[in-house]
A and B are shown apart, each in its own frame.
Chain A
């Protein structure tokens, strides 16, 4: 994207997500394992990006870097102009609170809170106005308006994932990350979840979805493919343009 400011200058807005030569190494016994190796990626605001790769390719690790759930061993991570790599622990907490919304593969809802309370909790710590009302309306948007009073163990997997999305969305944070959001769901539910996520990518918010399912990458504006911790492809989806979510089939 570019914005013409004057005939002499094309000013590029700062990338929503900028990774430069990011590596992540783990020590396992006597050997060193590279989960990521010299990854450089740039994702703009409003983009719906899919990080694609087989199991063990490093895609979840990459997502964790972006969400500041993990720190790179080398390289730099800048999110909306903030150098996350150099941030203090306190700054990282604030960053996750105010900038990122995370949807986990295993939902990670609080078992002691109901569905609406799980969403309300995230809204409150993000400092977003609206509180309970916002939580209820967000749950309504994800189709769980009548399930707000249920605890996570009383919800199906799909419903729990919707709650997790509602939790991430309700904060209004500009970077939405989803790790295998359809991994544990049936096809129909997976389509609904993807639809919800796709709708979140708007002018300001970028959405990054991690998946091993190549079919899902067809709805993305941008597909970044990883293999053995390295970027092997980075560009538009197969066919050049994203397709409707409803057209997917796996």
Chain B
């Protein structure tokens, strides 16, 4: 008997290997994606911790108050007196300005010089990790390393020259990262500030010379011995330093408070929410689709199950064949799913690493997650096989064997309904609808299986489109007016006619200019508050003014972003209170601007005057003559009062790159869901044709042409394909809306993103669901068209 069953099972596999493989692939993609995508947060955090350990990250960072320094050696001497200190290092951190790059990538930006004694990569605390060149080993004591974030943003080479204000040319041999600057944050604690801050790790003596603080230091980094609590260490250091330097101000930051590290951990957590959502969608879609397919295959064996029952075969033996089918699919899915999940995770990690590299990549195998994935892969088809077998075994054998549904089953009732009897349209349509009605469970499973997969497709496309639309809006806002303009930030506020302002406005190569005031402010309304960056504009400006989504740009008031307005629960016409340097004022919300960046807010010059700030500027927009942007930047580099000179075109390009990098990972998910959708559509269509073999044989026997029979098959599959796709699109829009308005809102608090599903994406989804069904039917029908008609009619399966 075992030999007989073994032969039987082998023949079953031979006749169904395509369906087994396709179903296993569907499950493998879903289960693998589930494990792969859910492993990313742990990978990111483990890598972060491993990186910090490798770089010997400081447990306590001591910064002297702004402007204060101490003689080199003094801080370290105090640190060495504190119990529990294992290693310490003094540094000098000083502001400066660098000019770097050429052409469109030329930039003059504020710099932060980090003077390190000895080799930056060999520092005993907070070492600098060399990111590029990849070969490593390029950095020695006395070398300069440029921050990788800044270099990457401005597309600078891994080694080169930069000009340091007040110093001259400086050669950097590599780009790198250190624990404090894994991410570059703005003063407001928002990431993405690498465009306008260059961290330069250079020899301590060079930093001292460049900043005019020879022999001085203003930062101390400390590591404790193993097991030392950083809070205790910080408290001990605070006490020691306070006693030693009672008139010196210190700011003490523990490792767990380090902003960049906290931001990375928070990003990992936020990203994981989105990753988990898509992991769950994919695995649910795949599992449901696989469940549906396996159930249909086993259902098609109902008659054979009935024959076995009629012969009195034990139930366990009857169940052997369908359960073996389930087991074959499950084992194959597990074998394919694990490497797929690992590959997917590696691809996404690669994208994330290229955008935000960490010195150590701790890719340990997440056994727990993959165990769950394997369980899903194996148990789903088994469950899918068990249920119809149980259903059949509970039937009377006479019902299980029946070729036509007996009595008053649901399918028969639907078929007998008036609606089904009086369907309009030709044969194809009526047959298609009735075929769906007479097997309601199977039809529902097919439609729902396709719908769930399409929901995943549409919701992922919605996310990509929404982020893309937001980035486009930001880019448009940046490049409106004069896209060649340079934004010059001054080191402090000046009167509009002050010399530093005039120097900028009259620099060689400048053909037009306008002054602006930008300052941070807090807006409050309805018991809520938001940090804003308030900038002024001239309503009649030819250089730049904000584009509006609603409201008026000439009316007195403040223009808020849609996100800020939402956060403050205000609309156009409402009022907000602005906390300004010397006053607090309530102003009207005169409009909503089109830039999605939440903190950006604008006031026209008239409003600025009404706020008492009309005679103060700290930025100048200049329009260089064609081809002279570089000349203007060189002229302004190091000019008194100039903090930075940035090309908006370069900013827009960098933004595009950043969005591409971010959505790169999502695009992998898009491709995966599209592939899953194709597989499901194909397998479902192929199964339907298999189930109808005898009917097609009858049609052929009656002289119906292959083309006509194919049209009938197309009608039926397209009907369920259309219903499944339509349902999936609707649900996908809903899930997409929730993703954008809930998950993304939380993940990107500084950007306003609204649901934007393009017609192209909807068309893609519809084409996928419906088109794949049609293609699958045409492809699978070739086998039907070649069937042995007499043999099929003669033999009753």
Residues in chain A within 8 A of chain B (CB atoms): 26-29, 64, 67-71, 93-98, 100, 102, 104, 106-113, 117, 120-122, 124-126, 152-154, 156-157, 160, 167
Contacts and interface: CB of A to CB of B under 8 A. Distances in A.
Nearest to B10: A112
Contacts of B794: 153, 156-157
Contacts of A69: 310, 396-398, 401
Contacts of B313: 93, 97, 121, 125
Contacts, number: 92
A126 B1 CA distance: 12
Nearest to A94: B312
Given A27-B407, A69-B396, A153-B791, A120 B4 contact: yes
24 contacts: A28-B408, A29-B416, A69-B310, A69-B398, A69-B401, A70-B398, A95-B312, A97-B312, A98-B312, A108-B307, A108-B310, A111-B797, A113-B8, A124-B1, A124-B4, A125-B313, A125-B314, A153-B788, A153-B791, A153-B792, A153-B794, A154-B791, A156-B794, A160-B795
Contacts of B406: 26
B310 A153 contact: no
Interface string B270-303: 0000000000000000000000000000000001
Closest 8 CB pairs of A and B: A97-B312, A96-B312, A153-B795, A69-B398, A69-B397, A70-B398, A106-B796, A124-B1
A108 B401 contact: yes
B15 interface: yes
A98 B314 CA distance: 11
Contacts of B788: 153
Given A93-B313, A107-B796, A125-B1, 8 more contacts: A26-B407, A70-B398, A102-B310, A152-B795, A153-B788, A156-B794, A157-B794, A160-B795
Contacts of B398: 64, 69-70
Interface of B: 1, 4, 7-8, 11-12, 15, 303-304, 307, 309-315, 317, 396-399, 401, 403, 406-408, 416, 788, 791-792, 794-797
Nearest to A110: B304
A102 B397 CA distance: 12
A42 to B, nearest CB: 23
A169 to B, nearest CB: 13
B307 A110 contact: yes
Contacts of B408: 27-29
Given A108-B796, A112-B11, A156-B794, A71 B311 contact: no
Contacts of B796: 106-108
B8 A126 contact: no
Given A27-B407, A64-B398, A96-B309, A112 B1 contact: no
A225 B401 CA distance: 25
B310 A96 contact: yes
B797 A100 contact: no
Contacts of A111: 304, 795, 797
A69 B7 CA distance: 28
B736 to A, nearest CB: 45
Contact of B8 (A28, A109, A112, A153): A112
A71 B309 contact: no
A95 B304 CA distance: 19
A153 B401 CA distance: 18
B229 to A, nearest CB: 68
A126 B788 CA distance: 34
B401 A104 contact: yes
A250 to B, nearest CB: 22
A26 B304 CA distance: 24
Contacts of B303: 108
Contacts of B315: 93
Contacts of B15: 112
Contacts of B8: 110, 112-113, 117
A124 to B, nearest CB: 5
A142 to B, nearest CB: 17
A93 B310 contact: no
Contacts of A100: 312
